[in-house]
Structure 1
Amino acid sequence: MMNWGALQDGDPGRYLPRPFETPRNAFPAALIQDFAHSGFDFIRLTLDVGPFMQLQGADREALEQKLIDNIRLFHDLGLAVIVDVHPVEQVPAYSPQSILDDLEGPLFADYTAMIGRLATLLAAVQSGNVALELMNEPVIREASHRTQVKVWGAAQLVLHDAARRAAADLPLLLTGANYGGISGLTDLDPSPFIDSNTLFSFHYYLPISFTHQGVDFGTADAPASPYVVDLPYPYDAVPAQEIAAAIEGRIAADTALDVTGKEATRNHAQQILQSFLSGAWNRERIENDFAEVGAWADRNGVARHRIVMGECGVTRRAAGFTGANDIYRKRWLSDVTHLAQAGGFGWALWGIESREMGIYRVDDKDRVDSDVVAALAMSD
C-alpha cells in the first residue's frame, strides 16, 4: 500500500507528489475484510522511506494523512498496526546501506528527523494499537557481521532516542543487525531499551534455498536458483537422489544454456542442494533456532511476549512462478508459527497479496487461502 513509491517519468530519483496512488498500491477492500475476519490480529504496514524523506510541504502532509487514514482503516477492522519503516533499493539514495553509510552525515540526520516526525504522528492516533518499527532489515555495505552489529547498535540507539523524545510511550519495534535475522538479534544488547516500551524483532527465512526456491538472487550470500525447486520439508520427505535427478532434468532441458552455462549452473545447483541436505532442516532444527532467541531473551531479562518474528514465509506456486510445493509450504509455515508461539513470540507472515509469497487464493485474489490459515498457529 505504501511501499515502492511511484517515480517521476525521466527522473528515477524523484517521487511523484502522490507516490502511492497507482493501481499497484491498491489493497482490495474485499481482501482486507477477509484478512481481518480470518483470525489475524495485527498487520505490518511497510513504508518506502524515500517519499517520507524527500517530499515537503503540502505533499508530505498529504502523505502523512494517507498513512493515518490507512491505520484507521485497519483499526476499524479490529487490527493493530506495526508501521514498519522499510527502506528499499528502488532509489539507491534511500536504501538502508546509503542511510547507514555515515551516521554523522546528512542522510542519516534526515532519516532520524523522519523517525521523530512519524513518532509524533503515531502518538496522536486516538485509537491506539499502533507501534513504530525503526528500520526493516538494517544492513551496512560491505561490512563484517561484527561491524554490522556495532554500527547498527549505535544507529538504533540514536533512532530510539529520537522517537522517544517525540513520543514517550509509543511502542517501538527494535531489531538486530545484518538483515534482522536471529544472529543479529542475539548479538543485540537490549539493556538500553529494557525500561522503554519496546518490542524486539527477528526475521526467519531458513533455509533460504527452501523458503525462496524459484528465485535467483544472483549473489553468493543468498543461494537460491530457479532450477532448485521441489525441495521438500522436512528435508528427508523425498529421497535425495530424486531431488537431484529432477534438478538435473531441468538444467538439461533448458535450451537457453550452452554447455559451459549448464556446467556452471549444475555446479551451483549441486552446492545449494548439498547445503540444504546437510542442514537437516526439520521441525527440530527450527526449534533449536528459536531456542537461541529464547535463551537470549532469558539471559537479558527480556520477556518472551516482547519478541516478534516480524517476517517469515515461503514462495508458492502461482501463475508464472514456480515456488514450493503447497504441501511442504504449509508444513513449514505450520512448524514455524507453532514453534514461535510455543516460544512465547508473536509472529507475522510476508506477505498478504504478493504474487511470490502471498496468502490469497490463487483462484480468487479477494479471499485469503483458508487452507494456509488453517496451518498456522492461530488455528489452535
Structure 2
Amino acid sequence: MVRLFLALLASLTLAAATFAQESGPSLRRGVSVHEWLNWSPLEEDGSYRWPPYRSIEEWLSGGRPLSDWPTGDQFTRIREMGFDFVRLSVDPGPLLATQGAKRQEALDVLRAAVGQVTGAGLAAVLDLHAVGQKPEYSLAGLDSNANSEGTRRYRGMVADVAGMLAMFGTSSVALEPFNEPGFYPCGADSSGEWQKIMAAVVSDIRAVSADLTVIATGACGGSIAGLIDLDPSFDDPSIRYSFHMYQPHSFTHQRSDDPDGFVSGLPWPAATGSLTRSIAELKARMQADNVDPVVQALNLAAFQKIAADYFAADAGQAQLDALLDQAVRWAEEHDIPTERLFMGEFGTILMTPDGRMGAHNVDRLRYLTALRKGAERFGIPWSIWEYSNPYGMSVILPEGSAEADPDLLQALGLSQAR
C-alpha cells in the first residue's frame, strides 16, 4: 500500500511539473517587431511625448509611405505567414521616467498593444529593449552594480510590467526584462554583478506572478558566452533562457560606419568563396558605383583585414554547430530541457542594390536556413530580426508594396503570406 501511494504521489508530481512546464505560451517561431514601440517620440524639450509610444500608423509610415501597406491587421498577417509569436520590443524609458498614475498610463498603452498581438491569435513576448535615445534610461543606468539606485528603479519598473502582463493570464504572454545587457567580461573575470541582477529580477517577477513566463538572459550582449556564464540557480519551469546569434558577426553585419564605406559580399560558408574573389567583387561594385579611387583604396584596405580573418576562421556549418552545442551543453548540465532555450534574435543584412553593405541573398538564405534548422533540431524556439525596417534585416521587402520576402519565409520554413 505504501509503495502504491508513493508511486501515485510520484505520478501526480510528474503530472504537475509537466503542466507547469507547458502552461506558458507556445513559443516556436517568432518575429521581432521593433519599430513600433521603441524610441518613444520626444517633445522639443527632450521629454517623452504623452501618451508615449507610436501609433500603428506612425510605425508603418516611419520608413516608407503608408500607402505601401495592404489594408488589414499586421498581426493577422504575421500569423498567416506562419509565425506563432511576436517579440514586441519596448522602450522602457517612459516607464522609468514616471511613477504612479502616469506610469499606469504608459502601462495601459502597452496593455492595449499586447492585446492587439494576442487578439490576432499570436503569443506576445514583451521585450524591454532599452535604447540610447535618453542615456539615463538605457541599460547604462544600471551602473554595472546590483545595488545601484538605477538597478532598483529598473527592478520596480519590471515588477509593474509583470503585473500588467499577469492580467492576460499565462498562456499567451511572456516577459523578457532585459535585451543584450553588457556587463563584460564573461567567464572567470566576470564581476558577478549581472548574476545578482538577473536573479533579483526573477525574484521580483515571481513575487507578482508565480508562473508568468520569464525569459532570462546572460551578460556580454546576450550572447551564448553570456548564457553559459549564467548560474540558473533561480530556475523554475516557467523560465526560458535567451541567447542571440549573430555569429560570425563579420558575415551577418557586413557594413561600415563610414558613409563612404563599402563592406559586403562575404560568402557563407566561407569555403564557397575566397579572399581574392571577395576583394575583386567588392572592387567591381565600387567601380560600378563610381566611387573615388582613393576612397576605393581605403575601403579595400579595411575590407581585406576583415575578409582575411573571416576566411581564416573557415566560417561555416561546423562553426554554427559548435556554438549551438555550447548552449545545449549548458542546458543539459543544469537539467534544463533544450526547449526552454530561446534563440531570441538572429538575422543577416541583405546586400543593398548599390552593393555598399550586406550579404548576397543566396549566402544569407543558406546561413539563415542552417541556423534555423540547427535550433529546431534541439527544439529551441527562435525569433527572427525583424518584421519590417529599412536597415537590411527585414521579413517585409524594403521597397515597393510591403509584402513578405518569399525567399526569407522559405528559409524559415514558413508559408507565403496571403
**TM-score greater than 0.5 by the shorter chain:** yes
1:216 maps to which residue? 256
Q: How far 1:341 moved relative to its partner?
A: 0.3
Confirm or deny: 8 A CA contact 1:341 1:377 kept in the other structure.
no
Rounded Cα–Cα distance in structure 1 between residues aligned with 2:118 and 2:340: 21
Rounded Cα–Cα distance in structure 2 between residues aligned with 1:378 and 1:191: 36
Does residue 286 (structure 1) correspond to residue 320 (structure 2)? The answer is yes
Aligned-pair Cα RMSD in Å: 2.6
Structure 2 matches for 1:148-227, cutoff 5 A? 148=190, 150-193=192-235, 195=236, 197-213=238-254, 215-217=255-257, 226-227=261-262
C-alpha change, 1:26 and 1:51, in structure 2 (3 Å) is farther
1:18 maps to which residue? 51
1:145 maps to which residue? 186
Q: Identity over the aligned pairs, expressed in percent?
A: 28
1:200 counterpart SS class:
strand
C-alpha change, 1:216 and 1:10, in structure 2 (3 Å) is farther
Which of residues 369, 372, 377 in structure 2 aligns to 1:342?
Answer: 377
Give CA-to-partner distance per residue, 1:107-160, whole Å, 9 cap, x none: 2111000011011111111473101012000013xx433455612111111111
Confirm or deny: 8 A CA contact 2:261 2:299 kept in the other structure.
no
C-alpha change, 1:179 and 1:24, in structure 2 (3 Å) is farther
Rounded Cα–Cα distance in structure 2 between residues aligned with 1:102 and 1:246: 47
> Structure 2: which 5+ residue stretches go unaligned?
1-35, 62-68
C-alpha change, 1:145 and 1:73, in structure 2 (3 Å) is same
Does residue 95 (structure 1) correspond to residue 131 (structure 2)? The answer is no
The answer to which of 62-71 and 350-359 deviates more is: 62-71
1:178 counterpart SS class:
coil
Which of residues 24, 29, 51 in structure 1 aligns to 2:94?
Answer: 51
Q: How far 1:249 moved relative to its partner?
A: 4.8
Rounded Cα–Cα distance in structure 1 between residues aligned with 2:230 and 2:182: 14
The answer to which of 278-287 and 145-154 deviates more is: 145-154
C-alpha change, 1:318 and 1:248, in structure 2 (3 Å) is closer
Q: How far 1:10 moved relative to its partner?
A: 3.4
1:180 counterpart SS class:
coil
Give CA-to-partner distance per residue, 1:160-183, whole Å, 9 cap, x none: 111111111111000111101111
Does residue 8 (structure 1) correspond to residue 43 (structure 2)? The answer is yes
Superposition TM-score, scaled by structure 2 size: 0.80
1:241 maps to which residue? 276
Q: What amino acid maps onto 1:185 in structure 2?
A: L
Name the count of aligned residue pairs. Answer: 367
2:403 maps to which residue? 367
Structure showing greater relative contact order (alpha-carbon pairs closer than 8 Å, 6 or more residues apart)? 2
Q: How far 1:319 moved relative to its partner?
A: 6.6
Confirm or deny: 8 A CA contact 2:263 2:357 kept in the other structure.
no
1:222 maps to which residue? none
2:340 maps to which residue? 306
Confirm or deny: 8 A CA contact 1:133 1:174 kept in the other structure.
yes
Rounded Cα–Cα distance in structure 1 between residues aligned with 2:112 and 2:141: 30
Q: How far 1:43 moved relative to its partner?
A: 0.6
The answer to which of 309-318 and 95-104 deviates more is: 95-104
The answer to which of 358-367 and 286-295 deviates more is: 358-367
Rounded Cα–Cα distance in structure 2 between residues aligned with 1:70 and 1:211: 30
Confirm or deny: 8 A CA contact 1:31 1:367 kept in the other structure.
no
Does residue 118 (structure 1) correspond to residue 161 (structure 2)? The answer is yes
1:310 counterpart SS class:
strand
Q: How far 1:317 moved relative to its partner?
A: 3.8
Q: What amino acid maps onto 1:85 in structure 2?
A: L
The answer to which of 22-31 and 170-179 deviates more is: 22-31
C-alpha change, 1:288 and 1:3, in structure 2 (3 Å) is same
Confirm or deny: 8 A CA contact 1:235 1:281 kept in the other structure.
yes
2:394 maps to which residue? 358
Q: How far 1:363 moved relative to its partner?
A: 4.6
Rounded Cα–Cα distance in structure 1 between residues aligned with 2:195 and 2:257: 28
Q: How far 1:357 moved relative to its partner?
A: 0.6
C-alpha change, 1:270 and 1:149, in structure 2 (3 Å) is farther
Give CA-to-partner distance per residue, 1:75-101, whole Å, 9 cap, x none: 122111111111111111112122243
